[in-house]
Amino acid sequence: MFRIATMRFLIVLTFLLPGLTETVQANQLYQPAHIYNLFLPGPPTAIVAADINGDNRLDLLVSFGGPGGMQALLGNGDGTFQIANNYVTSAWAFWIAIGDVNGDGKPDALVATTAGVSVFLGNGNGTFQAAQNYEIPSFDGARSIAIGDVNRDGKLDLVVGFECIPGFPDCNHGSGATVLFGDGKGAFTPSGAFFFSGGDSVTLADLDHDGKLDLISDSQQNGGNVVVNFGIGDGTFQNARIFDSGGFDGGTITVADLDGDGNLDIVAANNCVNNDCSKSNVGILLSGGGFRKAQTYGHPGGLIPQQVAVADINADDIPDLVVANFCDDVDCFFGSVGILQGVGAGKFVRSQHYSSGCLTGNFSSVAVGDANRDGTPDIFLICDEGVSVLLSLAQTTTTLVSDENPSTQGQPVTFTATVVSSGLAMPTGRVVFRNGSTSIGSAVLNAGVAQLTKANLPTGTLSITAKYQGDALSQKSISSVLVQVVNPKP
């Protein structure tokens, strides 16, 4: 392990190698998008996935603008959601984070707003208490929020990224961050200290393994570069260090170990390249290279990437990237989701892209999690209409046996293929049987089993496989080769 709109889409696999682009067909991994229209008083701005009511089913929280607030969607465990309570924040909400800030074992919600921070203490049943609001002076609106113990007192603190009022002396680069110290009971005290960093996306992680949380951020005001403030451990941070993300006009920052070396790497969503916003990419800064040289992946399943989530999409224990794009590859009428498949050593190939199902591509946040409990991450996006949900197709395994092996020429042999799904639904559809590349017949699944009887098999050593064709809920799969020996008649 590493640390209702329906669209037709083309699924391609493109290897992003210098001077070479190869495209092959890839298996579909996700169902078409389903839209939950929320009819909010303002546009959705961010989304997180977590179990907020303790029923072991994934739920969603969405922040929104306008008057500002937070919307809960409770998961049913089968990939569907019921729209639940709506909560009011202090102002337009930009960002949302989940953590247990009062130590009662119940998830709390922290929302960055144009007025500061709204803290919603969780009741553990999917509802939240009224917001406790914290105003932060001398800035022009919080844009993002991260949770962590930055002063090492065993209590969770908040780091808030914000845009600055013009001329504010501690933030003359257009963005910055500040700390609110937690008391462990759900209340916070603003530190009063402001420091230069990116404000549009803040993340806390220990990059240098010194036991102190570092601040990683990205700011549109700083050309889309990655900004790192290494932690001192007392709730303050060192001066910012700037790293080239390989693009311009940055979106959000994600941190994960992408190459399996035990060190955290940085992923940046770059809206533009060299001031050209007809081009965009995802930039990867590996820790092994000191974050010095960004690997970039252009047109990651769409244009103008907004945010990147890290998850193992294909169950190979290698992290993959899920990219939320403002536009698809064709036009800007729809948004898209791109999958960059990890191939190891921190390298990726562009494997698939899907329509978001949204009439507009105006979303800026993506979350992943297993909502239908099939063992594979599902994808959740915000867009103008509400929430777009792309449920994974359940992974399947196909096994093949024969009732007579070896057999004799002319003797009937029955091949039995069994298809097992990781999901809740029984696989349906057809299985194709082949000898090498030659089809010898097909059969329809009945309770997960398909059988084919053949009496005219050629003599010799045959290589028999069974390929399940998939259905609306299940991925394709193929069996291992069954070596079938057919002897001549005596």
* Residue in 306, 307, 298, 303 with CA at minimum distance from that of residue 348: 298
For 88-124, give one letter per residue: b (16+ CB within 10 A) or e: ebbbbbbbbbbbebbeeebbbbbbbbbbbbbbbbbee
Which amino acid is located at 214 in the chain?
D
Please report the pLDDT score of residue 169 as a whole number: 52
Give the position of tokens 């030659």: 438
> What letter does residue 354 receive in the DSSP assignment?
E
pLDDT at position 2 is 47
Q: Which of 448, 313, 435 is nearest to 374 (CA)?
A: 313
Residues in the chain: 490
Give me the average pLDDT of each 10-residue run along the chain (490 residues). 32 30 55 92 94 97 93 96 93 95 98 94 97 80 92 97 64 74 96 79 95 87 75 95 82 92 94 76 90 87 88 93 83 84 94 81 80 93 90 94 96 98 92 97 98 97 97 94 96
Q: What is the pLDDT of residues 331-377, one digit of tens each?
A: 677 888 999 999 999 999 988 889 888 865 455 689 999 999 988 99
- Closest to 222 in 3D by CA, of 261, 177, 160: 177
Rounded Cα distance, 199 and 227, in Å: 10
Structure tokens at 151: 């002063």
8 Cβ partners below 8 Å, 6+ apart? Answer: none
- Distance (Å, whole) CA 9 – CA 489: 51
pLDDT at 17: 32
Determine the residue type at 400.
Answer: L
User: In the chain, what are the helix, strand and coil shares in percent, each to the nearest 5?
Assistant: 0, 55, 45
> How confident is the model at residue 25, as a pLDDT?
34
- pLDDT, position 480: 97
